[in-house]
A = this chain, B = another copy of it.
Amino acid sequence: MQLQEIASLLGCEITSSNTQITGMNTLKDASASEISFIANSKYIKEIQTTKAAAVIINAALVEHLPQGCVALVVEHPYWSMAELSKYFAPSIEELNAAPAIIGEGSNISPKVELAKGSVIGKNCTILAHVYVGANTRIGDNTIIYPNVTIYRDSVIGNDCRIHAGAVIGGDGFGFASNKRGEHKKIYQNGNVVIEDDVEIGNNTTIDRAVFGSTIIKKGARLDNLIQVGHNCEIGEYAVAAAQSGFAGSSIIGRSNVFGAQSGVSGHLKIAPFNTFAARTGVTKNVEVSGKTFAGFPFMDHKLWLKIQAKLARLVKQ
């Protein structure tokens, strides 16, 4: 898509340009053929070093753009970004892609839907009623249980087990809203990457990234009915018990353990090797390791126990 065309779509005037735009991305990650946006002034530092070909931006912030980066000036950058995202969304199917390739020794039920462009490794088992979307890649020795849905462009490693009803790569929860409370979908044009030796529980949902990838790293163990939001990264050997949830863009360090029904807010970083009791609600970055937390808002586990004891005494007075 030509930059010129994009400017017209968004109703911006730009100096004529025939730059070819291949996608959208964050200020930090955008390449010279991508468009970015700034919708929140807290990202202002990231404007100055962005490599994006153009940025969807408010008039007030234009002065911060680096030289050569085209300003697409709009009133509501987030809304305009949402509008544009549609044009970069891939189709659901890839009718012109090559037929799926299935590795030696793999056993795929005839009741599986295997979309074009997908590549399945060796010695995999894929059971009935699974849907494998376009351009999905699955490694060797991986088992996909019945009724799993894998959206297009997902990458799944070797020796994984994806249990029944799990959904890999569904759309992240993204939209812009206006003052009347109406919403415009932000198309989720990234994907999900699941590394080797990962186990995903029944009916767990792992959303695709808006840009880039949601990543479940090597050896992670996710129980049933867990939600992993778009652009999360679940660290190596991390463990989460049933019904826990990870809001978008949180980075969970290696070997963290989350009890059942726990939750992590969005855009947080959790250092490795901590434990979070059942129902913990993590609301801030965790920079230490080797600790146990509990409560909501979360705190040291022992402190939480003390507070509960104190409360019980309070009421008996």
Which of A15-23, A53-61, A78-86, A146-154 is the interface stretch? A146-154
Which of A5-13, A36-44, A67-75, A220-228 is the interface stretch? A220-228
State the Cβ distance, A24 to closest chain B Cβ, in Å. 20
Which chain B residues lie closer than 8 Å to A143 at the CB level? Answer: 92
A285 part of interface (Cβ distance < 8 Å): no
Q: Is the CB of A167 within 8 A of B165?
A: yes
Q: Is the CB of A145 within 8 A of B173?
A: no
A229 part of interface (Cβ distance < 8 Å): yes
Question: Please, how many angstroms separate the alpha-carbon atoms of A242 and B109 in the complex?
Answer: 32
Which chain B residues lie closer than 8 Å to A165 at the CB level? Answer: 147, 149, 165, 167, 203, 205
Query: Which 9 pairs between the two chains have the least Cβ-Cβ distance?
Result: A181-B255, A113-B128, A131-B146, A149-B164, A167-B202, A170-B202, A227-B242, A202-B205, A205-B224
Q: Which residues in A have some Cβ–Cβ distance to B below 8 Å?
A: 92, 109, 111, 113, 125, 127-129, 131, 143, 145-149, 151, 161, 163-165, 167, 170-171, 173, 175, 177, 180-183, 185, 199, 201-203, 205, 207, 219, 221, 223-225, 227, 229, 236-237, 239, 241-243, 245, 247, 254-255, 260-261, 263, 265, 273, 278-279, 281, 296-297, 299, 303, 306-308, 310-312, 314-315
